[in-house]
Amino acid sequence: MAVSDIPNGGAFTSPPPTPEYGITKPISLAGPTDADFNRNLELEKFLVDSGLYESDEETATRQEVLRRLDQVVKSWVKQLTRLRGYTDQMVEDANAVIFTFGSYRLGVHGPGADIDTLCVGPSYVNREEDFFMLLHNILAEMEEVTELHPVPDAHVPVMKFKFQGISIDLLYASISHLVVPEDLDISDGSVLHDVDEPTVRSLNGCRVADQILKLVPNVEHFRTALRCLKFWAKRRGVYSNVTGFLGGVNWALLVARVCQLYPNAIPSMLVTRFFRVYTQWRWPNPVMLCSIEENELGFPIWDPRRNPRDRFHIMPIITPAYPCMNSSYNVSASTLRVMIEQLRYGNRICDEIELNKAQWSALFEPYQFFEAYKNYLQVDIIAVDADDLLPWKGWIESRLRQLTLKIERDTNGILQCHPYPHEYADTLKPCAHSSFFMGLQRKEGVRGQEGQQFDIRGTVDEFRHEINMYAYWKPGMEIYVSHVRRKQLPAFVFPDGYRRTRIPRHMSHLAEKVVEDATKCYSGSTERCIKRKNDTEIMDVKPSKPEKRASISPQRLECFSPESCTSRSGGTSQMSIDCIEGVRLDGSTTKDSDSICEIKSSDGLIGSTICAERPDLQISETGGVDSTFDRQKSRSPEVQNENGVNGNKAQDLDLDCLQGVETASTESLTNCKEGALNMDQPLDKACNFTTGADLSDYVPSASTQNLDCKGDVCVADGDQF
C-alpha cells in the first residue's frame, strides 16, 4: 500500500484504486442517500408483494429436478458408450454434465419460470441421432416427463418438456473430449475447439451468463434491479425476443451496463438511472459490457465493419463472451419504436417517484394494448388437439416477426405494426386454438394522400405460404389472419370477459398532457406552472359529430374445428386495409360517415391455402427494414455526444464524467459505408452508424399501392389512421 509524505512530516495512506467495470469510466460514483434507501425498501417490498420470489418448497423442487436430470443424461451417455463398443473402463468414466443459464443461472427466476439447461457430452455423442432420438425416447418413457417437444431445426436446437411440473429447455453440446470432467470450466475458451456453430450457440448461453455476473460491481444489486425491470417489461408488453422485443438476456445486458455506469448505486437508483440512460440512448450505438474479443478460432463476431448485415441491426446489444454477437437482432423499426415509447413512460413515472409524486406500483401498471389502437390484425391458430397445437403454434409465433417486417416493407414503413407478445384463447371453444394480435396505425406525422390504400393481401399470402412450409404439418393445422376494428375485438382478450369503459380520446390526451406539464413544472418557475395549469383547464370543445352508422362485424370464426375451417380456406384471400376505420372483410361494402370511405373486400378470413410464390416480394433475413430509427431525424435539434446521450440532458443523468463515456464503442466508426471503414481499428473502438440515407442502397423497396390487387379494392381517406 502506497505511503506518501506530507508537509508536516506525517504520512497518509492512499486508498486502493476503485475497480473499473466495463469499457469506460462510470458516469457517477455517488452512493445512496437516506431517501434512496427508503425508496429501495419500498421497491423490495413491492417486488415481494407482487409474488416475484419463489417459495423454499419450489426452490427445493427445482434442485431435485436438476439432480434427476443430471442422473438421466449420465446414464444415457454410459449406455451409448457401451453400445459404441468402448472398453469397460471407458463406460465407467463416461460422463455428461448439466449446466444452467438464463434467469435461473443469473438468480432472477420467479415462481413457475422455466429452467434453461445445457447438457455437455463427449465428442462421440451427437445431437441429431443420440440427443434428439435416443435421449428423446428415454425421456418420453418417464412418467415424470410431460409435454415433450423437440425443436431440432431451431437456431439453437432445443428439447422442451416438463419434469415433475417444472418447465425445462434442454440444449446439447458435444465438445472435443472423450471424457467430460465433472468440474469442466465452461468459461474457458478451449471448450470451443473443433465444434460447429450450433454447438457454439448452445455453449454461449452459459458462458454469457457467467460473464455478466463477473462484469457487474454488485451481483445482488444487479439481481434485484433486473428482477424489477423484467417484471416491468412483461407488464408493459415489451418482453419477448421471438416477437421482436427483448428477451431475458437482452434485459440482463442492459441492466448490467447501467450497473457498470453507476457502481455504487442500490437497486432503486439503478432502476431510475436505467430509464434515464436508455430514454436518451442514441441507437444504433451498441451496448457492450467489455471489449469485443477476436480469436484465432475464427468464429464470426459482431463486426459492422466487415459484415454488411450487422449494419442493419438497429438496437445492438452485444454479448460479452466470445464469439461476441448481437443478442437483439430480432428488433425491428416498429418494435424499437414501441420500446422507446415505453422507456419514456417509465422515465416519466420514475421522475415522479423521486419527487414523491407517485408510488412504485404506478411504474408497473399494465399496458392497455387493446385500447391503444383503432385497428388490429388477429392471427388465429388451430389444430386438432393440444399436442398438435403446441409445435404448430411455436412455429407460427417464431415467424410472426416476419409478418411485421413484410408489412413495413410493402408499405415503405408508413403502416406501423405493434405485435403484442401475449397469447389469447377462448376457453368456450371446443377445440385447440390460440390467437395473437398486432396493433396497426399510420406512421406518426405522415399524412395520407387522397385515395391512398394499404393493400396487404399479397403480403399476408406470402406470409401464409412460408408458414405452410412447416416440415411437420398435419391435417387440421390451420392459420387465419383477419382485420378487426377495436369495437370488434373478441371478448376473450379482456381480463373480465368484457370491454372496459373507454375514456374519450380528447380526455385521455388531456390527462397525458397534465402529467407531462406537471413533470416539467417541477423544475420550472411558479408563473410557468400556473400558466400551464390554466391552459389545461380550458377544454377544446368541438362540435359533436354525427353519430357513426353501426357497421356489421366481420365474419368471425364460430368454431375452430378443422372441419369447419377447411371449407373456408380455399380461394384467393383478399385483404385491403385503409383508413382503417371502415374496413370490412365479409364480402360486402360499408360506408363510414366519419372517414367518408368505401371499402370492398371479398374474403372474411384469410385461410391457410398455399398461394403461388411471389418472387418479387421476397424478404431478406434482416427484414429489409431501414436500420435507422426514422424519428431520430425529427425529434429535436439536440446535440448528440459520443455516449449515445443528448448532450443538453447530461444533468438529468448526473453525468459528472460524461466526456468519454461509451466512446470506446462509438468514437471510430463515424461512417459504416463500404470503403469508409478503417479495418485496422479495434472493434471495441467503433460503432457510430450512418443515417438511413447512407444505407439506402441496401434497403429493398416495394410499392404501397395495389400489391397483386385482384378484384375489388378499397379507396379511402388515409387520414383516419
Which of the residues are catalytic? 103, 114, 116, 169, 230, 239
Please tell me what DSSP assigns to residue 135. Answer: I
Where do the DSSP E strands lie in 472-588? 478-485, 576-577
Question: In a 3-state reduction of DSSP, which class is residue 95?
Answer: coil
| Residue 459 · residue 617 · CB < 8 Å | yes
Tell the burial category of 544 from Cβ atoms under 10 Å away from its Cβ (0-12, 13-18, 19+): exposed
| H/E segment holding residue 219 | helix 219-235
Q: Do the beta carbons of residue 288 and residue 684 sit within 8 Å?
A: yes
Distance CA 296, CA 580 (A): 55
Residue 399 CA to residue 244 CA, distance in Å, equals 10
DSSP state of 420: E
Q: Taking the CA atoms of 563, 567, 573 and 576 in sequence, report the sign of the dihedral they define.
A: negative
Instruction: For residue 433, give the 3-state DSSP assignment.
Output: strand
What single string gives the DSSP state of each residue in 627-669?
A: SS-THHHHS--PPB-TTSSBGGGGGGGT-TT-TTTTHHHHSS-
**Which of 417, 418, 246 has the alpha carbon at shortest distance from 328?**
246
In angstroms, the CA 440 to CA 459 distance is 15
Q: Are 708 and 458 in contact (CB under 8 A)?
A: yes
Q: How far is CA 309 from the centre of its chain?
A: 19
| 157 closest CA partner among 139, 176, 170 | 170
- Cα separation, 408 vs 334, in Å, equals 8
The CA-based dihedral angle spanning residues 416, 422, 423, 428, taken in that order and rounded to the nearest 10 degrees: -100
CA distance 135 to 159: 10
Placement of cell 398435419 in the chain: 474
Cell, residue 538: 380550458
* Count of other CB atoms within 10 angstroms of residue 10: 8
Q: Helix (H, G, I), strand (E, B), or coil: what is residue 12?
A: strand
**8 Å CB contact between 595 and 375:** no
| CA atoms of 598 and 582, how far apart (whole Å) | 7
∠330-696-405 over CA atoms, to 5°?
A: 30
8 Å CB contact between 508 and 340: no
Q: Is cis: bond before 580, omega within 30 of 0? A: yes
Whether residue 414 contacts residue 363, with contact meaning beta carbons closer than 8 Å, is answered with no
Closest-CA residue to 266 (of 28, 31, 46) = 31
